[in-house]
């Protein structure tokens, strides 16, 4: 009896352990009952019936990566290049991923290879290098639509490398070097042109400023000379007026008036200028001197006439 109970206890423990399943986080169990899909066991504790239920597959819900082997493809201009691609995908329906396709990874790989060949075959070599983002987008869209019925979502497709043949690569390197040299020459010539323009503009501005400064200097010099001539003329006019006033107050005779006029003209002619300018005030003064002379002469005639008449009366 004791042995029977021990055997029974062992059988019960085996059945218990077989019926209890602990599912890890980010994983699910596909449970079948009598060979038919029964349920999807989520993370945590799950109970199954031994001998009736069993775990068909363990499916990861994490985002997964698949490196597609490098593939040789032919471009539109008949150049064979090698493309290395990586696919990022995630299972959204574990039951479909298990029952709708025999091998999900192989299906994605083959689908990616055929899609890459179809897309690259419509492009030239240069376009494949400049359109990586476009190629990635087209690949992702096609793969995502095709794998949707497999319970899978393709998040991203990235082209890791595009390798052309050795002779094409050498030709491209030479072309790139020639293009770099061309750009360098263009930039150098543009810099020289800009430098020449800047220097010429600077000289032009300097010449303009120098001409304006010379013009301003001449204008100021001429204004100063004109002011000096004016002041000298005014001073000489004042001297003549003073002489005239002195002569008028001294009751001058004819000879004295002529002498003083000549002396005044002589003083005027002693200026530094080549020409003598007699201001209007000076001519007025000289006219006054002439009028004074006439007055003096008339007085002398009147005196002589009066004296002669008196002598006649006396006789």
Lowest mean pLDDT, pick from 11-15, 43-47, 236-240, 293-297: 293-297
Q: What are 117-151's pLDDT values in tens digits?
A: 999 888 888 888 888 888 899 999 999 998 999 99
Structure tokens at 120: 């690259």
pLDDT at 89 over 90: yes
Per-residue model confidence as pLDDT tens digits over 301-311: 555 555 555 55
pLDDT band for position 213 (cuts 50, 70, 90)? confident
Query: What digits encode the pLDDT tens for the residues 150-160?
Result: 999 999 999 88
CA dist., res. 110 & res. 183, Å (int): 44
Which tops the pLDDT comparison, 269 or 133? 133
**Percent of the chain, pLDDT > 70?**
76
pLDDT at 88: 94
pLDDT of residue 12: 77
State the burial class of residue 167 (Cβ atoms within 10 Å of its Cβ: 0-12, 13-18, 19+): exposed
Q: Mind listing the domains of the chain with CATH numbers?
A: 2-60 (2.30.30), 64-164 (3.30.479.30), 229-314 (no CATH)
* pLDDT tier for residue 274 given thresholds of 50, 70 and 90: very low
Q: Provide the H-helix boundaries in the chain.
A: 2-19, 94-99, 104-120, 125-130, 132-147, 166-249, 254-268, 280-314
CA 123 to CA 253: how far, in whole Å?
Answer: 125
Flag whether pLDDT at 279 surpasses 50. Answer: no
- SS3 for 101? coil
- What pLDDT is stored for residue 281 in this prediction? 46
Calpha distance 304→235 (Å, rounded): 40
Q: Strand 44-47 and strand 36-41: pairing? A: unpaired
Q: Cβ neighbours of residue 288 under 8 Å, at least 6 residues apart?
A: 244, 248
pLDDT in the model for residue 295: 46
pLDDT at position 258: 60
State the chain's mean pLDDT as an integer.
79
13: exposed, middle or buried (Cβ count in 10 Å: 0-12, 13-18, 19+): exposed
Mean pLDDT, residues 207-218 taken together: 87
Supply the pLDDT for residue 130: 82
- Residue identified by tokens 């399943």 is 21
Dihedral Cα 218, 220, 225, 230, nearest 10 deg: 140
Q: What is the pLDDT of residue 77?
A: 85
């Amino acid at each position: 009896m004791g042995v029977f109970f021990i055997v029974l206890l062992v059988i019960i423990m085996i059945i218990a352990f077989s019926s209890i399943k602990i599912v890890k986080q980010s994983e699910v169990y596909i449970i079948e009952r009598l060979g038919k899909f029964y349920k999807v066991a989520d993370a945590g504790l799950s109970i199954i019936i031994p001998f009736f239920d069993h775990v068909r597959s363990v499916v990861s819900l994490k985002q997964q990566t698949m490196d597609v082997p490098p593939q040789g493809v032919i471009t539109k201009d008949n150049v064979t290049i090698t493309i290395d691609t990586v696919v990022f995908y995630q299972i959204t329906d574990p039951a479909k991923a298990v029952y709708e396709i025999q091998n999900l990874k192989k299906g994605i790989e083959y689908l990616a290879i055929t899609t890459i060949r179809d897309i690259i075959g419509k492009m030239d070599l240069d376009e494949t290098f400049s359109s990586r983002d476009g190629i990635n987008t087209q690949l992702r869209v096609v793969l995502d639509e095709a794998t949707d019925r497999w319970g899978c979502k393709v998040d991203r497709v990235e082209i890791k490398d595009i390798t052309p043949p050795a002779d094409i690569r050498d030709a491209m390197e030479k072309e790139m070097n020639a293009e770099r040299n061309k750009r360098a020459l263009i930039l150098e010539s543009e810099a020289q042109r800009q430098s020449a323009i800047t220097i010429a503009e600077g000289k032009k501005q300097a010449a303009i400023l120098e001409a304006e400064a010379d013009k301003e200097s001449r204008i100021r010099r001429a204004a100063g000379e004109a002011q000096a001539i004016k002041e000298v003329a005014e001073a000489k006019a004042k001297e003549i007026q003073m002489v005239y006033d002195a002569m008028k107050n001294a009751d001058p005779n004819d000879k004295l008036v002529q002498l003083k006029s000549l002396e005044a003209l002589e003083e005027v002619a002693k200026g530094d200028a080549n020409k003598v300018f007699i201001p209007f005030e000076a001519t007025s003064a000289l006219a006054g001197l002439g009028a004074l002379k006439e007055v003096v002469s008339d007085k002398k005639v009147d005196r002589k006439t009066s004296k002669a008449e008196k002598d006649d009366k006396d006789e």
